[in-house]
Each structure stands twice: as structure tokens, then as C-alpha cells.
């Protein structure tokens, strides 16, 4: 169903890149910010700390580029790759039957108050 949603049924490289992404990246439980950092779709910030490079995986960055090449049929820009990642996340969440939680939407999770 995911291949039909992305319309990459005829591309073997696209199927391989999608499989690689689905194995290593958690599209259901990860927020878009975490996915952006993991896939390398942001402008890195130079600093003395290494916390910005902790999540980045170059292999997944290349997989996103290969998938976007299969989807757009040409060399994609960074914006096109990011839009494709958002579309994959939307399709995966839709097909998995789970809903996006408040923390992933950017809000605070619901707290349960006991009367007292």
C-alpha cells in the first residue's frame, strides 16, 4: 500500500531505498524533528559540542535521496526530500492505524488529574 501511495512500483532503487528507510527509521513514533536530524535534512550548526551530529546517519540521507530520485524522476532538492519524508510519515501513520499523539504535534501530553 505504501508503494502505491508513493507511486514508485516500477523503480527497484526506490523500493530498496524505502525498505532501508523503514527498517532504520521509526516513522510512527518519531517526531518530524527527530526524523529531520536522523536523515540529515537540516543545515548543521557548527559548535564545540557534538550533540548536533549524534543522530545523523549518512546512509539514511543517501537512501532518502535515492527514494526522492525514484519519486520525482530527477535529482531532488533538499526541500523535495523533506516533503517526501513528511509524506512517508503521513502514509505510514495512516496505514498503521495509529494516531499522531499530542507530543508529536508539538503540544504537551495530557496529564491526568486526580481530584485531591
- φ and ψ at 17, to 5 degrees? -65, -40
DSSP sequence for 41-102:
-S-PPP-SSSTTSSS--HHHHHHHHHHHHHHHSSPPPHHHHHHHHHHHHHHHHHHHT----T
pLDDT bucket at 83, cuts 50 / 70 / 90:
very high
pLDDT above 90 for 24: no
pLDDT score recorded for residue 75: 92
- Residue scoring higher pLDDT (102 or 96): 96
- Grid cell 495512516 in the structure block, residue: 94
- φ and ψ at 34, to 5 degrees? -65, -40
pLDDT above 80 for 116: no
Rounded Cα gap, residues 7 and 78, in angstroms: 20
Q: How far is CA 21 from CA 18, 46, 61, 105, in A?
A: 5, 27, 9, 22
Which residues are within 8 A (CB) of 76 and not within 5 positions of it... i.e. 6 or more apart? 65, 68, 69, 84
Q: Where are the domains of the chain?
A: 2-96
Per-residue pLDDT tens digits for 3-15:
888 888 788 999 9
pLDDT above 50 for 98: yes
pLDDT score recorded for residue 68: 93
Amino acid at each position: 500500500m505504501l508503494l502505491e501511495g508513493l507511486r514508485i512500483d516500477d523503480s527497484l532503487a526506490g523500493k530498496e531505498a524505502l525498505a532501508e528507510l523503514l527498517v532504520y527509521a521509526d516513522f510512527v513514533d518519531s517526531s518530524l524533528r527527530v526524523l529531520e536530524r536522523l536523515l540529515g535534512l537540516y543545515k548543521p550548526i557548527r559548535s564545540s559540542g557534538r550533540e548536533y551530529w549524534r543522530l545523523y546517519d549518512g546512509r539514511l540521507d543517501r537512501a532518502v535521496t535515492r527514494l526522492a530520485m525514484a519519486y520525482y524522476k530527477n535529482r531532488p532538492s533538499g526541500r523535495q526530500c523533506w516533503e517526501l519524508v513528511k509524506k512517508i510519515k503521513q502514509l505510514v501513520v495512516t496505514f498503521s492505524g495509529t494516531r499522531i499523539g499530542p507530543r508529536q504535534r508539538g503540544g504537551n501530553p495530557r496529564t491526568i488529574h486526580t481530584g485531591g
